[in-house]
Structure 1
């Protein structure tokens, strides 16, 4: 049976995400090696109403051990609301398919010889005040082991989590204000949370700030939330900022 305290932790993350997503923000990012994703402030704010249900439906299974049927029914009602922004409606449909296990909703997985199994989180997010005079766009992804990324590489039954704060300098570790991932394996009920750290093999010279961790999730469908604080050395100064939480769905 899933650990009750761990469930409470993940549900608390959902509530924190709801509060954080209600904060106003203006997207702004310095040039980065890769194109900066477009971030809709309206979509991020709308997600604040649904993140608790996303995590809660996974963290509170029904009597049969599967995703709670009542919560799923509520999720479908929300998805059918014609007033949802188009971007949010698509995200919500993916979440429902993923949680139901109906063969859809999971992220696209690269193919071909040696292609890493990279699974992007549902939406890019924002770090408030992460760069001088503005906010940083943040992107998150997960990798399913066994593979080499992120170094030293997740083993079978493990997930590697990567968060990049675009436009910032190199990542710094901050024990007092960490960047955290909380996750639930909805097929086994296993849960956990841990900090993402500076990775000495990724973007340590000039940035952008990149944080990683490897979690022993076990095989199955995993839903996760990355939240907390990003700390970097940007333009010669130590900068710490809070990100709007982002949610990921992955197959491990």
Structure 2
């Protein structure tokens, strides 16, 4: 009886902590949805959940404004180039790839590449059942993949890149650590992990760092990325 009460109390505390951490992202999403009509909201993304071409053009136009700081301009332009498929890509996807859910905004780590250049990070969620990432994502589970663009390969041992998630349909909560797998073994650094989210609407918040390695596999430095978030449905 005491053990059951203790577990329930820990669960309540856990949910409250992560709802507090997710609050800024949820507020951003709510304000964005409220500011546009449903038809316009649907046209703002493509079938993979990526920004539509006119949204990318607006981002590029914003970055060209003279008042935008150079660091912010570089981050925005890097994100635009990634979503347009220009330059270096993230996770390779075949033509019959499953539908993925892009995290709402790209993230950035300063002084990451060679210790002095910023790196842009992108994250996706893949609800199961899906064939990717290998060996696949089972039904009722979700795979998360994070890629630090422009970096070397990831070190075998990672200090911690985490996805905090909450399934608002079934009440499940959890923290999934992303580790080095078989994706992009030669770089850019890519981490992945699978969570037993169950079916329903899931909110996810990613934060942490990626430890890079040199050509011999020896760790070089850790790049800490700003948080990013997403919401998706698991069938």
TM over 0.5: yes
- Give the gaps of 5 or more residues in structure 2: 1-7, 49-94
CA 1:119–1:108: 2 relative to 1, 3 Å: farther
Q: Distance in 2 between matches of 1:95 and 1:147?
A: 33
Aligned-pair distance for 1:96? 11
* Length-normalised TM-score, structure 1: 0.60
Q: Give CA-to-partner distance per residue, 1:22-78, whole Å, 9 cap, x none.
A: xxxxxxxxxxxxxxxxxxxxxxxxxxxx33746xxxxxxxxxxxxxxxxxxxx86xx
Query: Structure 1's 95 and 153: CA in aligned 2 closer, same or farther, altered over 3 A?
Result: farther
Taking the TM superposition and a 5 Å limit, the aligned residue runs for 1:118-137 are: 118-132=100-114, 133-137=116-120
Q: Runs of 5+ in structure 1 lacking a partner?
A: 16-49, 55-74, 80-91, 98-102
State the distance in 1 between where 2:222 and 2:160 align. 10
Report the Cα distance in structure 1 between the residues aligned to 2:221 and 2:197, rounded to whole angstroms. 31
Q: Shift of the alpha carbon at 1:178?
A: 0.4
Higher relative contact order (CA 8 A, sep 6+): 1
Could you tell me how far apart the structure 1 residues matched to 2:139 and 2:212 are?
31
For residues 172 and 95 of structure 1, the distance between their equivalents in structure 2, rounded to whole angstroms, comes to 42
Partner of 1:186: 168
Cross-structure match for 2:200: 220
Query: How many Å separate the matches in 2 of 1:107 and 1:221?
Result: 19
1:104 CA drift (Å): 6.7
Q: Is the 2:97–2:132 contact (alpha carbons within 8 Å) kept by the matching residues of 1?
A: no
- Give, in whole Å, the separation in 2 of the partners of 1:224 and 1:95: 22
Aligned to 2:140: 157
Cα RMSD of the aligned pairs, angstroms, is 3.4
Q: How does 1:1-80 map to 2 (within 5 A)?
A: 3-11=11-19, 13-14=21-22, 50-51=24-25, 53=27, 79=31
Give the match for residue 155 of structure 2: 172
Counterpart in 1 of 2:221?
Answer: 239
In structure 1, distance between residues paired with 2:121 and 2:34 = 21
TM-score, scaled relative to structure 2: 0.64
Q: Describe the shift of the 1:198–1:144 C-alpha distance in structure 2 as closer, same or farther (beyond 3 A).
A: same
Question: Partner of 1:30 in structure 2?
Answer: none
Instruction: Check the 8 A contact 1:94/1:104 in 2, yes or no.
Output: no
Partner Cα distance (2:14, 2:44) in 1: 24
Between the aligned partners of 1:105 and 1:226, the Cα distance in structure 2 is 26
Structure (1 or 2) with the larger CA radius of gyration = 2
SS state at 1:155 partner:
coil
Residue correspondences, number:
176
For residues 104 and 140 of structure 1, the distance between their equivalents in structure 2, rounded to whole angstroms, comes to: 21
Match of 2:88 in 1: none
